[in-house]
Amino acid sequence: MSFQRLIGQKDLKIRLKHEYLGDPNHAAIFTGAKGSGRHEFAREYAKALMCSSPTDDGACGKCNNCTYFDAGTHPDLIVLADPNKKTIKVDEVRNKVVSDVKICPQISRRKVYLIEGDELNEAGQNALLKSLEEPPANIIFILICEDSEKLLPTVLSRTVEYKLSSYSKDEIMDALRSKNKEEFDGKYSEDELKFTCEFSSNVLGKALDLLGDEELPSMRDKCFEIITNIGKEGYCATLTDRYSYFDANADNIREILLLMLWIFGDLSILKKDRNNKNITNTDKRDVMLKFLDDNPSVDLNKISKAAGHITTVFKRLDLNVNFLYAVGDMLLGIKKELT
């Protein structure tokens, strides 16, 4: 992979090219929200720094340095990250960085330290500080974190920050189309890609992770089934069968509630104008129109009140209200409006 294959961030790519093809700063920090691609850009930058013949697009991908880098066996790439404990120990900083920086690169012209900044506590940052202040030649530090404010001012002052900007909807759609073609042989329709983009809140990493995850379409189908049938079933079924689904999927409760809100939002739009194209669940238009035709008494006021019960659950969950009570009350409230 080269920078050319990474989506968007045109200005950032230009800045990084001047660095790895020229005289790079000894310390950089890549920041951006979860799913922004900060890890991918940081690794691609590290690879370009160590490549024997870097190009305008990044590392060549062919030299020994690139081969070792891709295999995860490059002796001059030191990675500090502990995804299990979420905190890098001070001793690890001292052993892998402070003591190691004195050793010259073995096969590359540069030695690169790739460090998870979010996993460095204050003690770990202070242990790293001296190496950042007086690094030997050909030593590059690359830190990765969600927000630079999590780092000490003394650490920040010795780094150049590369902040990843948000992605446009068009950029995310292009990335989804590419993944759909390359990995799924065009399995997903344009409407399904658009829904994935919307549900990701325009977060590139989340959108790419969602595509191919069968849990999302399964949850969405279940939400449609609940909403279109809850008005026809008995109260016992609502408080047992329906509740059991929410209880079994408690870890995904916010995603489920969001899907339900979007359905009610689309129902409101179609109730006003059944030909309106500006809906989120475009591939479910016929399902929603049939529901409205079969339930003419469900007007805009009732749809709004039903959606209000879902919004209330969001608030109650933030206040740690009893899960059983919050979900049960919501289901009964929605049933009342749709009966």
Strands 139-145 and 27-31: parallel
| Helices assigned H by DSSP within 146-238 | 153-156, 169-184, 190-199, 204-210, 215-229, 235-237
Handedness of CA 303, 309, 313, 314 (dihedral sign): positive
Residue 232 CB-half CA count within 13 A:
8
Give the chain's mean pLDDT: 89
Domains, in order of start, for the chain? 3-163 (3.40.50.300), 169-210 (no CATH), 215-338 (1.20.272)
How large a percentage of the chain has pLDDT more than 70? 99
pLDDT band at 297 (very low <50, low <70, confident <90, very high): very high
Strands 160-163 and 27-31: parallel
Give yes or no for residue 296 having a pLDDT over 70.
yes
**pTM beyond cutoff 0.85:** no
Higher pLDDT, 319 or 265: 265
Give yes or no for residue 84 having a pLDDT over 80.
no
The pLDDT of 256-281, averaged and rounded, is 93
The pLDDT of 43-47, averaged and rounded, is 93
- Condensed to tens digits (0 to 9), the pLDDT of residues 211-240 reads 888 888 889 999 999 999 999 988 888 888
The pLDDT value recorded for residue 1 is 53
pLDDT band at 266 (very low <50, low <70, confident <90, very high): very high
The pLDDT of 229-254, averaged and rounded, is 89
Rg of the chain over all Cα atoms, to the nearest angstrom:
26
The pLDDT of 321-327, averaged and rounded, is 88
Give yes or no for residue 3 having a pLDDT over 70.
yes
Q: At 288, list the tokens.
A: 């929603």
The pLDDT value recorded for residue 83 is 67
The pLDDT value recorded for residue 85 is 64
d(CA 301, CA 336): 12
Is 161 within 8 Å of 148 (Cβ atoms)? yes
The pLDDT of 8-29, averaged and rounded, is 89
Tokens 């050793």 label which residue? 103
- Condensed to tens digits (0 to 9), the pLDDT of residues 179-215 reads 889 899 998 888 888 888 888 877 788 888 888 888 8
d(CA 71, CA 246): 43
The pLDDT value recorded for residue 67 is 93
**Which of 132-146, 198-212, 302-316 reaches the highest mean pLDDT?**
302-316
